[in-house]
Each structure stands twice: as C-alpha cells, then as structure tokens.
Amino acid sequence: MALRNIRKFGDPILRKKCREVENIDDRIVTLIKDMFETMYEADGVGLAGPQVGILKRLFIVDIGEGPLVFINPEILETEGIQVDEEGCLSLPGETAPVKRPKFVKARALNEKGEEFEIEAEDLLARAICHEYDHLNGTLFVDRAKRK
C-alpha cells in the first residue's frame, strides 16, 4: 500500500466527470487500499477517485463504523434535509454549512464486484452524497449555503 497525493482545490481534475469502472482488477483493488491508507493518514471520512488523480467512479467512506467501498455508485432515493458543517481533504482548513439529504439509499459494487444497496442517515448519508458529488466534478463549496 502507498499514500497517494490528494489533489487540492484549483486542480482541474477535481472538476471533471468520472468514467465508470469497467473491470475490478488488481489495479483497482490496490487503488482502493491506497485510498484507505491515504484517507486515514489525512484523518478523513471519505475519499473519491478524482481526489487522488483517478477519474473513475469510485469512492470510499469510513465514518467510524467500518470501511465502505462504492464502485459505480447510484443514488436511488433521498429524503429529508440536514444542514451541517462540511469540509474536504481537497480544501484543507475550509468548512461551510451544506444542505444535504437526511436519508439516502444508494447502490454500488464493492471491491469484490458484488452489488449492494445501502440505506444511510445523518453523517453517513452526508458522506455518501459528498463523495458522490466528487464523481461529477462538484465540490462542497458549490453547495455551501452562503452566509
């Protein structure tokens, strides 16, 4: 495993739309392991492919309940509203209040290529939506509530 460089705000790769993962091979599995190592080292709760320079529809999340891998994710359903402070490893030191769904239902593949669905609330729902946005070139500052 290896630490990856986290791309910072202003890097054009953060604004690009990611491509589907065609094949979950050894390179993707290594990337996932590297992403977890990088995220934990940076004290984050999520990390998406473009944040480490890889334009693939892939992100990871761990809010303290165990690691989750999302490959080619889809948001199936959202409900409710929550507003809370958000930050991002690509915008170190920056936070802002962001409105997100309180509940989200998503479908994705895990690192073994197995499809799963997850229903999440509160922080996990926020983290999934935040990382999903990265796959479409959207950053939390784009959704921040203006003061």
Q: Detail the residues annotated as belonging to a binding site for Fe cation.
A: 88, 130, 134
Q: Is 131 a catalytic residue?
A: yes
Write down the catalytic residue from 22, 37, 86, 131: 131
What's the full length of the chain, in residues? 147
Beta bridge partners of 108: 116
- Sign of the torsion formed by the C-alpha atoms of 94, 97, 103 and 104: negative
Token pair 């065609």 in the structure block, residue: 22
Furthest C-alpha separation in the chain: 45
Q: Residue 52: name the closest of 11, 4, 94 by CA.
A: 4
Beta bridge partners of 46: 61
90-116 CB burial, b ≥16 within 10 A, e <16: bbeeeebebebbebbbbebbebeeeee
List, by residue number, the catalytic residues.
131
